[in-house]
Structures are given as structure tokens and as C-alpha cells.
Amino acid sequence: MMERNYKRRFPISDWVLITLYVLIYPLAVSLTLIFFFYNFSNKISQLIFLNLIIFIFLLISLYFYQSVFRKLDLYAKKVDFYHFTPSLVDLVIHLIKQVYYVLFLGLLLTFFLEFLISVSKNDLTVYLGFSISISLLLEGILIVIRMRSKIALINTAQEPVKENIIANLNLDYPESMKISEYRFADIQVPSLFLSAGVTTFGLNNYICLVSRYFNWKLNDEELIAVLLHEVGHVKNNHIRKTYMIIGTEVILRSIRIFSVLLLLLSISGNLELFKIDPFSFLYLVLILSVFLASAFLTFFLRYRTYLAEISADEYSANEIGALELAKVLRKLPKLIPSPLVYDQSSFLGFRVNLLRDSAKK
């Protein structure tokens, strides 16, 4: 067998995607907002413009949300797993959580508010710029933390999947060739779904990491079933789509922080919000739509993750058979020391039941 020696590597394309979707796209929207605010200092027209932008995002979030909801609902109907579809109660709970978030954020921002008031003399452009900077900074910190652990995982994963398995995979399923490396990794905390994952190493160049336990406990056919699930993620472009949603979240978060700042300004007596005039009305519409938009986007992201797993399963099942994949998924929790369970209420149970259902036809 060929000896591999992996050098320290960076998932370059991951950074390209992050720059494109989490930095450039939110920055472009933010600069448009700032430009407008700066050139139209009338507060009413500023809020109208912001409302317009949020309205567009609200429509997009609603559209995506209801499209994943419809698809997931169809799956749930097949096997009676309704607890994986969103309900109105979930939405209300989410909005209540958001109120707590606002209170907490408000508390933090109070420290900056006095400074901002002394700088801005009540200029909304300064508040918007501040909100955008905080939002981008927060996302930046999160990305660095996430990427650091990802890179550490890639660099410690030195054991390649057997060459003959990869050769067979590439021969039978050409789509798998987009993944240039398959390695066993010490995945400590298994994800909610499986203990394997893909990340990008270049345009159309992916790396696939699989729990090292699968090396010892799965036979070649079972391992190929797991790898094909990952190929399904690659084929459906799931990584790129996730970054686009995160970028949209950054924009919504900026405007949410901005609306919290206006509230604080009003509480500190620097801005009159609670009276009957167009400005207060526009503010009310803004805060309602920005919270609704981010709620729907959060829900979209969560339920889309379920759909992504189901579609990756479908890809794998198409190649090796639904019952075969169901059998492998069914035994995974027993193979790895993890909180992962298989039962009638778990997502794994949902997936296994869906596969069995599709095999019946």
C-alpha cells in the first residue's frame, strides 16, 4: 500500500466560500445601507429603506422556509415522524427566545451607548455602522473558532481509507472523484447525524473525514455506504448553500442589533420612539419584520439540515439499496461511543424508517 504523509493543510476553498458568502455578500449589502443612510440623512427615509431591504429578506426567508417545510412534511407523512416538522408553537418559542436575546444584547450594548451618543449626536448612520461592525466581528470570531477545530481535525487525521475501497468507489460512482482524500479522523463529538463529514479543498475538490471507529467496525460494503452518503452531500452542493444562509444571517443580525440600539436610545431619552408618528410606526414594522425574518431563516437552516441528510441518504440508497443503508445506519450508534441513539423519536430513527418505507415500493 502506498505510504501517505499528509502535511499541514488549509481547506482553501472553505476560505474562498467564507470570503464570498459570509464576508463579501453581507459587506456589499451593508455598504449599500450605509451609503443610503449617509446620503439621505432624513430619518424617515432611512427607516423606509431599511424596511424595504428587510421586507425582501422576509419574503426570501418565508419562501425558503415554506419550501423546506413542504418537503419535510411529505417525508414525515410517510412514516409518522411529525416531530421533525416545525409547528406554530416552535415559532412562538423561538420568538420568545429572541426577546431574551434582545434584553441580553441591550444590556451589553448599554456600555457602548454612552460613547456612541457622544460621537454621533443622534446620527442613525453611526448606529447602523456600529451594528454592522459588531455583527461581522461576532461572525468572524465564530468562523475562526470553527475553522481552527476543523483544521486541527484535518491535520490529525493521518490514516487514509484503504486504496482499494477508494478505487472501487471511484470506478462505480464517478461523482465520488470530486473527493480527493478520504481519511479516518478522531471525531470526538459525533454530529447529530453521523460521524463523517466532507469539507472543501478547492473548487470541486473535497476531503471526506470518517470516524476512526468505522475503520475497525464496518466491513468494506458498509464503509462504502457511509462514504456514498458523503458523496451525496458533495453532489448536492450542501456546503456552499450553508455558507450563503450564514451570510444572510449576518445581514439580519446587523439590522436586529440596529433596532435594539434604537430601542436603547429611546429608553435613554435620546430618541422619541413611543409616540404616534411615522418614525415610530416604521420602527415597529422594522423590529417585527426583522425578528420574523430571522426566525424563519433559523427554521429554514435547521429543517434544511434534516433535508440535506435525507437527500444524502437517498443518493447512497440509490446506489447500494435502501435496506442496505438502513441496516448500516441502524447499527452506527452501537459502534461509536456517543450519545447518538436509534429509536422512534430520534432523527436516526426517522431516516431508517424513511429508507425502509422507500424499499417497500
Binding residues (CB under 5 A) for Zn ion: these are: 309, 312
- Work out how close the CB of 229 gets to Zn ion at its nearest, in angstroms, rounded to a whole number: 6
Give the position of cell 447525524. Answer: 193
- Work out how close the CB of 356 gets to Zn ion at its nearest, in angstroms, rounded to a whole number: 18
| Cβ proximity of 321 and 353 under 8 Å | no
Q: Please, which residue, 17 or 226, has the CB nearer to Zn ion?
A: 226
Gap between the Cα atoms of 306 and 80, Å rounded: 15
Q: Are β-strands 159-160 and 179-185 bridged in parallel, bridged antiparallel, or unpaired? A: antiparallel
For 210, the enclosing helix (H) or strand (E) is strand 205-211
Q: Please, which residue, 181 or 309, has the CB nearer to Zn ion?
A: 309
Q: Please, which residue, 86 or 232, has the CB nearer to Zn ion?
A: 232
Burial label for 297, CB within 10 Å (0-12, 13-18, 19+), is buried
- Work out how close the CB of 198 gets to Zn ion at its nearest, in angstroms, rounded to a whole number: 8
- Work out how close the CB of 164 gets to Zn ion at its nearest, in angstroms, rounded to a whole number: 24
| Cβ proximity of 43 and 138 under 8 Å | no
Q: Are β-strands 205-211 and 196-202 bridged in parallel, bridged antiparallel, or unpaired? A: antiparallel
- Work out how close the CB of 350 gets to Zn ion at its nearest, in angstroms, rounded to a whole number: 13
Q: Please, which residue, 264 or 329, has the CB nearer to Zn ion?
A: 329
Q: Rounded to the nearest 5 degrees, what angle is found at the Cα of 170, between the Cα atoms of 347 and 310?
A: 15
Question: Which amino acid is residue 255, in one-letter code?
Answer: I
Q: Please, which residue, 227 or 246, has the CB nearer to Zn ion?
A: 227
What are residue 211's DSSP bridge partners? 185
Gap between the Cα atoms of 139 and 223, Å rounded: 35
- Work out how close the CB of 65 gets to Zn ion at its nearest, in angstroms, rounded to a whole number: 21
Q: Please, which residue, 79 or 310, has the CB nearer to Zn ion?
A: 310
